[in-house]
Amino acid sequence: MEPSVAIVGATGAVGEIMRQVLDEYRFPLRTIKFLASERSVGKTIDFRGRQYTVEPIRPEAFAGVDLVLSSTPSGVSRESSPMAAQAGAIVVDNSSAWRMDPDVPLVVPEVNADELGRIRKGIVANPNCVAIPLSVALKPLHAVAGIKRVVVATYQSSSGKGAKGLADLDAQLRSIGMGQPMPPPKAHAAQLCGNVLPHDWTTNPDGYTEEETKVMQETRKILGENIPISATCVRVPVRVSHSLAVNVEFHRAISPEQAAAAYRSAPGVVLCESKPPLPLEVTGRDEVFIGRIRRDPSVPYGLNLWVVADNLRKGAASNAVQIAQLLLRRGLVPRR
């Protein structure tokens, strides 16, 4: 029997892509409903040729639902995801609320799909939009040479802030094109157009931003290894797709040719050998694109990589749907 599905946060930027990916993947479902905050309740959504009315997030909305794909702010998720699980559904949660809970698996299908055998709270966490492509890039190399240390600098797109971030950037670009005064930023920490922002997230007492902490902690949890990771996260004036400059130090020797060979057979990876991957070319794709593999001459065993992935798709919605596909194939979705 095909599952009954609910998308929570259906009208947000990631919720919209979730609907698109479900359709593209021809995900089997018996029924579907769309839930969102009160300000979106009553709106209509078109899905597979039918119109659906957006419903409020409340306990009775999850009655009879087998599978939930959720993308809401963490505060909402802390209430809604347990609500859905208590109603008998399994939840794939895209917020940061559950990622570091030891009883909640944090899953990237290409890296640690076996964690789906340990779902204790009825919730599976979808990782951070940088931790996903970073772990996909690191896993094949770790298997070859054992990773000793990782240093990553990110170039993150405006859409990481959702629809409000894109509206910010687009308004700034329009003002330049029309010769008008620059509008003040509403979603980003400062003007993003023509700028880079290393402070576009809340800063913790240790000086690292919340985003940097997520990348470091979540990547270690996904890989299942306490690998030292140092991250610097920066917002750049790009609409969609995040880029990563990754420096990896290894315990054993590994050449760029060996790394390339590992990537050619790695699931979910596109190896770019003739030219580096670019955000404009990667947007709309679900793979992690890797190029510019070269030796790091400052350490005995080290490589530098350039990694790019669509943050709305593989960094969020597509990874969640891929988790849902695995749950379905393994018979882990309740059928009622």
Retrieve residue 267's tokens.
Answer: 């699931």
Active-site residue (options: 129, 193, 233, 272): 129
Retrieve residue 284's tokens.
Answer: 């709309």
How far apart CA 52 and CA 250 sit, in angstroms, is 52
Burial state string for 285-299 with b = 16 or more CB within 10 A and e = fewer than 16: bbbbbbbbbeeeeee
Retrieve residue 122's tokens.
Answer: 């009825």
Active-site residue (options: 142, 188, 233, 242): 242
Cβ contacts of 164 within 8 Å, gap of 6 or more: 186, 187
> Looking at residue 203, what DSSP letter applies?
B
- Residues facing residue 245 across a β-bridge: 153, 306
Query: DSSP letter string over 89-132?
Result: -EEEE-SSSSTT-TTS-B--HHHHGGGGG--SSSEEE---TTHH
Q: Are 281 and 309 in contact (CB under 8 A)?
A: no
Helix (H) or strand (E) holding 252: none
Cβ contacts of 178 within 8 Å, gap of 6 or more: none
- Whether 242 sits among the annotated catalytic residues: the reply is yes
Helix (H, G, I), strand (E, B) or coil at 237: coil
Retrieve residue 202's tokens.
Answer: 């809340």
Query: In this structure, what is the dihedral angle of CA atoms 274, 280, 281, 284, given to the nearest 10 degrees?
Result: 150
For the chain, the helix, strand and coil percentages under 3-state DSSP, each to the nearest 5: 35, 25, 40
How far apart CA 153 and CA 173 sit, in angstroms, is 25
Catalytic site residues?
A: 129, 242
